[in-house]
Structure formats: C-alpha cells, structure tokens
Amino acid sequence: MSAIRRFEEQVARVTRTFLDARQSRVVVLHHNDCDGLSSAAILFKTFERAQVPYSGYALEKPYPAVLDRLFKELDATSLFLFADFASGMLPEISRLNVNGSPVFVLDHHSITPSNDTNIHLLNCTSSGLEGGECSSSVICFIFSMALHDYNTDLSSAALLGALGDKMFDRRGLLYGVNGAVFEKYKGLGAFGYDSNYWIETGGRKEAQLVTRFVDALGSFGYLKGGPDIAIKGIQQGFSEPFVFAARQYLDQFEKDYQAFSKDVTFTESGNIAAFETEDRFIGYGVKTVGLICERLISEGLAPGGKYLVGFQPISPMIPGLGPIKLDDLKVSVRVDAKLLSSIKRGERPSVAEILPKAAAQAGGFSDACHPHAGACTVSVSKKDELLDNIRRYSIIAL
C-alpha cells in the first residue's frame, strides 16, 4: 500500500473517531508560527460553520505545566485538539490527561509514540510521508474537508502555512501533499503562482510577505494579542489594518535585532556554537530566538558548519490563561546549508536525532523537531548540561 493511501486511511479513521466523540467543547491548542496560526484559522472556521463550541489557545510550546493545568481544570466532556505540535510528547500528554479526555493531534513533526487509546494521531510521517511535504495547516485542511466538503475556501490558509514552514523543493516549489493541494485548489483564484506564490488577501500580495506578517504577529506580538490578529487576518484577508499591525512588530524587532547582532557573542565548543538573548527581548514570544538563529546564519554572523544553539528566557504569562510558574529557557537549534548537506549525506546526525534525547537527559522536553531545526525547553539550572549533551550527540549518531 502506498504512503498516500495509508495517509488517506488515517484521515478517514481519525475523522470518524472525532465525529463519534461528541464532546461538549473542543479545546484547540496550536503553535504560534505561521503554520500553527494557519492551522488554527482553518479549525476555528470549520468549527464555527459546523456550530461546534470551541476555545483556542496559542502556545509557543505545549509546556507540561500548561497542559497539566488545562487537563485538571477541564473535565472529560472536553475534547483536546493539538495542531502543529505535540507529536513528540505523546507519553507526557497521556500522563497529564488525568480525566481520560479524547485527545487529537494534527501534526507533521517527529513522533514519540504512545499506546494510550485516548490519543488519536493524524500525522503524515506515521504513514511513511515526509514531514516536509505536508504542513500541519494542510493536514488541518484535509481534516476539515473530511468533516465538511464545503470548506474548499480554506485551502489558501493551508498553503500559507506550508509556505510559512518553507516547504520547498530545489526549484522553490511546494511538493508532495502540499503541492497536490496547491494543484487541486489553485483554480479558486485565492492562491496562485507565476514567478512567486501569491495570495488574494486584502488585494494580491506575495505569499511569502504575508507569512512574514503572520510570523511577526505570532512571535514578536505573542504577549500583546498578535496571534488573534494574525488568525483574523488569515480568515478575513490581510487588509491594511492587519499589515499595519504586523509592520509595527517587524519594525520594532528590526531595531532590537540590529542592536543585538552588533555585539552578540558565541560560546564555541566542538560542533556547537551557543548564544543567549538574556533580557534583550523581554516582551517578545520565545519563537524569537529561532528567528534570531536563522538571521545570524543567513547574514554570516554565526560560526559556520556548527549546530547553532540559542537560549531565551520564557515569560511566565500565557495569553488567555494568565501566569504559569515556569523557570525555563527556550532553546532553538539551527544549522547552516553546509552542515545540512552533511546531515543529508549521513555524515552528521540531524537536529531531530540530537535534540530530543539531549533535552530529555537534562530534564527538559523537546517537540516539533526537523532535520535542520528544532526546539526544546529546559530549566535554567540545566543549561550547561543540555549543551554538554548536544555537544556529545553532535559527534556520534544516535
């Protein structure tokens, strides 16, 4: 049986289980990057049209402390749906789900399996597909269409999420399941390609520019209502008010980044180079450290050929939930083109091979890892231990 056929059967099975659950409310927990916010825009609109009560929380990571609070506060009549993360922590979710609530995970990241029958996973990688050929937003769109086939207009949000995760082949084109969705639904006129991908959203705009706006709102504006603005923009069209809000965050970040990049210092040891944002980005969401890693690499400021590790303190405030006791660091790992080539040739272990084990041994947790990028959280007191683990596993394959 082909991977596509297995994925289709997985979609049918998970959708049927979702419809049979008949819970009183769906609690959507989603990532705050472009893929996660596009996923949320699709799911929220799907549930609104179907008159299914729901609530949504944008999370930078599915922190165990946050999940523990939600699982304890909401009884078993609530259904939990994770979008664009959580595949890597299914055993932890099982442990925290004290009421045995139905849990659905729509994702495309690496999986840490669980035998819990309350957890229902819709992840393209479990069918033999690559995570890079099917974004979480496209998975949410396929799920939405399986629920109600009148949701075709949500294809634009699905493709925007795929572009936000930069899921291109060597020609710079969407491929795999993402490419198939584009080919099938581009005739709607809301999303197309000439020399670049474009989207009709508040007038025709270059799609990659819109992904920058969405990422800025979700990350730089995370603690200031940015995710809500982004989701509404995706659903309603990125007209000038949305663009104006996004540019404000982008402009402020640019000022702060330029000041930071002038005196950033790297601690190098073996195959890794590390830096800390310290308090330079207080008030920003912690996806910021990953974006800083990417900028430092693209501008040639980071040491070449090394696993770049960035640390940023996590704010104790969670939008919609209030304060949560967190004394942790967000850790982002990125690699440059040279190192990625070595990873693809099997000469170096991938980030997805290194980071989950390194984080677990330091008492942290990792989710949403790719071969070229990953993130985890770890206690402030365990920073040096995590670095030692990453250094060790960057030399030997797991």
CATH number at 369 reads 3.10.310.40
20: left (phi over 0), alpha (psi -120 to 50) or beta: alpha
Model pTM above 0.75: yes
More confident residue, 188 or 41: 41
In a domain, 11, yes or no: yes
Q: Could you read off the pLDDT of 60-109 as tens digits, one per residue? A: 889 888 999 999 988 778 999 999 999 989 999 999 999 999 999 999 99
Q: Does 350 share its domain with 234?
A: no
Q: Does residue 233 belong to any structural domain of this protein?
A: yes
Q: Is residue 274 part of a domain?
A: yes
Domain presence at residue 329: yes
The last residue of one of the domains, among 129, 159, 188, is 188
Asked whether residue 80 falls in the same domain as residue 116, the answer is yes
Per-residue pLDDT band at 1 (split at 50, 70, 90): low
> Which CATH number belongs to the domain containing residue 26 in this structure?
3.90.1640.30
State pLDDT tens for residues 257-287: 999 999 999 999 999 999 999 889 988 988 8
- Going by pLDDT thresholds of 50, 70 and 90, the confidence category of residue 398 is very low
Strand, coil or helix: what is 244? helix
Q: Is residue 200 part of a domain?
A: no
| Same domain, residue pair 244 and 167 | no
pLDDT computed for residue 180 by the predictor = 93
Integer Cα distance of 120 and 370 in angstroms: 22
Judge whether 199 lies within some domain: no
DSSP string, 10-76: HHHHHHHHHHHH--SEEEEEEESSHHHHHHHHHHHHHHHHTT--EEEEEESS--HHHHHHHHHHS-T
- Shared domain check, 277 and 252: no
Q: Is 197 a domain residue?
A: no
Residue 298 is predicted with a pLDDT of 96
Are 84 and 155 in a shared domain?
yes
- Tell me the pLDDT band of 396, cut-offs 50, 70 and 90: low
Q: Tell the residue number behind the tokens 């890693």, with chain if given.
A: 293
Same domain? 20 vs 148: yes
Query: Is 18 found in the same domain as 129?
Result: yes
pLDDT at 170 > cutoff 70? yes
- Judgement on whether residues 313 and 292 belong to the same structural domain of the protein: yes
Q: Which has the closest alpha carbon to 227: 366, 31, 94?
A: 31
Cα end-to-end span (Å), the chain: 30
Question: Which domain range does residue 21 map to?
Answer: 3-188
Instruction: Report the pLDDT value the prediction gives residue 393, as an integer from 0 to 100.
Output: 93
Question: Is 316:326 a contact under the CB 8 Å cutoff?
Answer: yes
Length of the chain: 398
pLDDT of residue 383: 96
pLDDT digits (tens, 9 = 90+) for 140-165: 999 999 999 999 999 999 999 999 98
pLDDT at 385: 97
Residues 160 and 286 in one domain: no
Whether residue 342 is predicted with pLDDT greater than 80 in this model: the reply is yes
Residue 327 is assigned to a structural domain of this protein: yes
CB distance 311 to 396 below 8 Å: no
Characterize the bridge pairing of strands 322-323 and 317-318: antiparallel
Residues 271 and 241 in one domain: no
d(CA 144, CA 47): 9
Do 324 and 178 fall into the same domain?
no
Q: What is the number of structural domains in the chain?
A: 3
Smallest Cα–Cα separation from 214: which of 130, 285, 301?
285
Tell me the helix, strand and coil percentages in the chain, rounded to 5. 50, 20, 30
One domain, residues 238 and 307: no
Instruction: Using alpha carbons only, give the angle 336, 339, 341 rounded to the nearest 5 degrees.
Output: 105
